[in-house]
Structure 1
Amino acid sequence: MSALERLAATVAARRGADPEESWTAKLLSKGPEKCAEKFGEEAVEAIIEAVKGDRARLTAEAADVLYHLLVMLAARDVALADVLAELERREGTSGIAEKASR
């Protein structure tokens, strides 16, 4: 199991936890819209670090983006396995061809 899969499992396990004791539970208790907002904030922070060119800060922000993506997915009952399956389905397909098929 990869670190990302372990993190997804932790996020799922915290779904019913006490929001006073778990940041993940606190985010999830605020609903999918708030989870999406937090994901967006972290994505913007990662973009800023990418533009600045600070590898260490970009790495840290990218980790935050992945965490908040998993929380957002959990808030809408989308499993990481489903996202990974979609990536596998697209594997070997040109990005240009994939976009044209939509």
Structure 2
Amino acid sequence: MSTFSLQDLEEIISSRADVKDGSSWTAKLVSGGVEKASKKLGEEAFETVIAALKETDEALVGESADLLYHLLVVLHVRGVKIDTVLEELARRTQQSGIAEKASRSQ
């Protein structure tokens, strides 16, 4: 099992976000703001769905990695830490998914 975490990825994204020499895809996404980063996240979400439906497990793993990376870029641009998202997931798992979803629709 890998010891690499979403927090590790978040730190890498943060360290690359301000690179000015043109060598960082992360910096290019961040410089485009939330709109560019969010559009790319949407593309990756679509590609992940297609991989889940029609491609190999290897393709699904690759697209899932792309999706997580682009989600963390969007979170970075918005100033939201991954730990905040994980805390929300932990809070939601304190009850069944059906009960949790019902509580949000009110």
Instruction: Report the residue type matching 1:98 in the other structure.
Output: E
Instruction: Indicate which of 33, 42, 49 corresponds to 1:40.
Output: 42
- Cα distance in structure 1, aligned partners of 2:97 and 2:27: 36
User: 2:102 corresponds to which residue?
Assistant: 100
Equivalenced residue count is 102
Distance 2:73 2:7 in 1: 13
Q: How is 1:71-82 mapped onto 2 (pairs within 5 angstroms)? A: 71-82=73-84
Query: Residues of 2 paired with 1:94 and 1:64: CA distance?
Result: 29
CA shift for structure 1 position 5: 1.2
Once residues 61 and 76 of structure 2 are traced to their aligned partners in structure 1, the CA distance between those partners, rounded to angstroms, is 23
Cα gap change, 1:61 to 1:19, in 2 (>3 Å): farther
Q: How far apart are 1:3 and its partner, in Å?
A: 2.4
- Point out the more displaced range, 84-93 or 61-70: 84-93
Q: 1:62 to 1:19 in 2, by over 3 A?
A: farther
Q: Give the structure-2-normalised TM-score.
A: 0.89
- TM-score normalised to structure 1 length: 0.92
For residue 67 of structure 2, what is the aligned residue in structure 1? 65
Query: What's the CA shift for 1:19?
Result: 5.9
Q: CA RMSD in A?
A: 1.4
In structure 2, the CA distance between the partners of 1:19 and 1:43, relative to structure 1 (3 Å rule), is: farther
Identity %: 49
